[in-house]
Amino acid sequence: MVQLQGVNKSFSGVFEPVLKKINLSLGKGEYCVVIGANGSGKSTLLKIISGEYEADSGSVSRRGDVSQVVQDVNKGTIPAMTMLENIALSGMKMPRFAFYKRHKSDILDKVRSLNVGLEKYIDNPIGVLSGGQRQTIATLMALNSGSRILLLDEHTSALDPKMQRLLMEYTARSVREKEITTLMITHNMEDALNYGDRLIMMHRGRIVEDLSGPRKSQLTIQKLLDMFHRFEDQTMVGDGGFNVD
């Protein structure tokens, strides 16, 4: 579904490339979690896959439409439109006025399935919701858009711990049921361990660990932290000081 070969990406004014010779292949329905220090290239990787950024060199191929949810709650929804209108639009190619009323019951069922009480705001402008609530609705929209590829960049960052857990469980269940190829960035080590069938660690623009199957299932938070420290120590030796870009 997603194939990157030898992808490099640099930005003007940044000393070294943000992505360096990235090779990555994701199959249908694969759920891959991405971790790494700030500045390691995680968000740039997702933007290359979505097409927001173009690679400087290398090749990128995608089979299927892409949906994404980002940390910025001002992206992904239209504040002046109601929750119903936002969700309805996310699942249609050509908007028609009658669509909203005709599919309201189905959309309400989807919102109720989140189990967070947002259905009472179905006819309210989505801009009145909190950042966490909007992030939740943006995730629901992406998961129900019909896209075969899903990119999640800290999509639970604005949520409290209870809401975060509920949305992560809903995400994992939906990804599995719909067989959506998913790449998810997180800084939450427990989520990195508990979700997804593959774990990628990035460091200074490179994929330095790619774990799946028993290698992933046997990981602990301490082992993940040890991995982080190992690459940090290598950077300190090479540069005379740790630099997270």
CATH of the domain at 151: 3.40.50.300
pLDDT, tens only, 88-146: 887 655 455 555 666 788 889 999 999 899 999 999 999 999 989 999 999 999 998 89
For residue 206, being part of any structural domain is answered with yes
Judge whether 76 lies within some domain: yes
Tell me what pLDDT residue 94 has.
47
Q: How many domains does the chain have?
A: 1
5 φ, ψ (degrees, to nearest 5): -135, 120
Give a yes or no: residue 36 inside a domain.
yes
Stretches where the chain sits below pLDDT 70 are 91-102, 235-245
Query: For residue 116, which phi and psi values (nearest 5 degrees)?
Result: -125, 10
Q: What does the buried/exposed string (b/e) look like for 167-194 if buried means 16 or more CB atoms within 10 Å of the residue's CB?
A: bbebbbebbeeeebbbbbbbebbebbbe
Residue 90 lies in a domain: yes
Q: How far apart are CA 127 and CA 138, in angstroms?
A: 12
Look up the pTM and report it. Answer: 0.87
For residue 117, what are the domain limits? Answer: 2-239
Domain-located, residue 15: yes
pLDDT of 237 reads 47
Which pLDDT value is given to residue 242? 31
Residue 85 within any structural domain of the chain? yes
Residue in the structure block whose two tokens are 């109720």: 112
Q: Is 245 within the bounds of a domain?
A: no
Q: Is 192 among the domain residues? A: yes
Looking at residue 229, what is its pLDDT? 85
